[in-house]
Structure 1
């Protein structure tokens, strides 16, 4: 935990917060081990960053006096169109996306996505939120990515994707018959990444109809959880 995050409704009219929930309080008590008078780096979810002065601390509760004095890092101008990954990788991928500063994610169905993937508890709103929060804590930032779900590939791509991608450059990671990876820049980008084994040819063609250009990250085939940080680091000026 490189920053202690809190929601706006936790902040009292006196500018103080009380940490009592098990996850944050256990980390404070067993890892950080603050003493009264210490200052911790804090941030308001989707808000500013500052310092929290410890004014009370025990094994079960920590009270901080909050001063917010700077904006959090701005998210990347990057939207991620992501075929729903294997459930056991969902948590790590969401955390990685938040850590790297992805601004929005649309979780998309694909022919190679098993129907059972959509039933995983890791796709429940609370689980998504908690894992994004862990990614923000790692990065020391505050801006939560927006997450959307598209359970039908063809209707979403034909009817919604163009508006969602807006005026961004549109790229799909696809190792076959693809262009070399573009250079990193700060242009608004919508990046599509398929499931294990990649999008089908039909799906790549449908994405191409919406202006998505296939590109390759090299001769090695990577897992989705590896492709995401590699592609983002290659495409975006972090």
Structure 2
């Protein structure tokens, strides 16, 4: 935990929070905090619109108390989180364990919009899994924010039907920037260091069926590849996001 993420309901005074959940356990067991220590804290910033500036919700907390009952901090906020990724990440709904990895790691890499959709090779049972319930999804997002020292909670969309997702949602996203469909059969390598908004689409681990691939191509979306190796969804997502990220060295 590189950041203690706090919520509005944690405040017991204007500049003081009291934590009694897993954050207390982590502070005692792993961070071994004691009165007088300083830690990084950030107040969650929910559901920002596209292009809307993040609030200055990062700062530090002074430990007032850390024992079996509570972690109490005096907090001072005023810094902004890192710049977000401009990639919308759209993935055929993976198995629950993989979903958790994608949410955590994608959030850590700055993704602010996740879209999960159905395709032929997605198990229908995944749509009934507890991992896609709002509370479970939010927990993974917060874990990602704690890792990367960020406060803006990503938005998550669920599209349980393939054609409406492709013909309506992807078409709308294409108005903001290109749609790149990652596929081992893609005719050209995925581009590097892309500036500006785009949507990255990943299929299921078994790949898109021919009809789905043809429909994506018919709508003008571009198929790109990382090479002939078949990667796990979480591996492909991380590799592609890293490849697409603009080079900010020297900024």
Instruction: Give the TM-score normalised by structure 2.
Output: 0.90
Aligned to 1:35: 34
Which region of structure 1 is more displaced relative to structure 2, 48-57 or 158-167?
158-167
Counterpart among 141, 144, 159 of residue 153 in structure 2: 144
Quote the offset at 1:177 in angstroms: 4.3
Question: Structure 2, unaligned stretches of length 5 or more?
Answer: 46-54
Distance in 2, matches of 1:131 and 1:164, equals: 25
Aligned to 2:19: 19
The answer to whether 1:236 aligns with 2:235 is no
Q: Secondary structure at the match of 1:18?
A: strand
Aligned to 1:78: 87
Distance in 2, matches of 1:115 and 1:24, equals: 35
Q: Secondary structure at the match of 1:220?
A: coil
Mapping 1:207-222, distance limit 5 Å: 207-222=216-231
Report if the CA contact (8 A) 1:77-1:188 is conserved: yes
Q: Secondary structure at the match of 2:208?
A: coil
Counterpart among 129, 141, 145 of residue 132 in structure 1: 141
Q: Secondary structure at the match of 1:160?
A: helix
Question: Cα gap change, 1:143/1:26 in structure 2, threshold over 3 Å: closer, same or farther?
Answer: same
The answer to whether 1:92 aligns with 2:101 is yes
Q: Secondary structure at the match of 2:156?
A: strand
Counterpart among 183, 195, 198 of residue 189 in structure 1: 198
Report if the CA contact (8 A) 1:169-1:187 is conserved: no
Report if the CA contact (8 A) 1:74-1:143 is conserved: no
Quote the offset at 1:13 in angstroms: 3.9
Tell me the alpha carbon deviations over residues 153-202 of structure 1, each in whole angstroms, 9 at most, x when there is no partner: 11221123211343212100011142122121222110000001211222
Q: How many residues align?
A: 237
Q: Secondary structure at the match of 2:73?
A: strand
Tell me the alpha carbon deviations over residues 76-133 of structure 1, each in whole angstroms, 9 at most, x when there is no partner: 0010111000122111111111111111011100000010111110000000000111
Instruction: Give the TM-score normalised by structure 1.
Output: 0.95
Distance in 1, matches of 2:19 and 2:99, equals: 28
Counterpart among 171, 181, 186 of residue 180 in structure 2: 171
Question: Cα gap change, 1:233/1:107 in structure 2, threshold over 3 Å: closer, same or farther?
Answer: same
Question: Structure 1, unaligned stretches of length 5 or more?
Answer: none
- Aligned-residue RMSD, C-alpha: 1.4
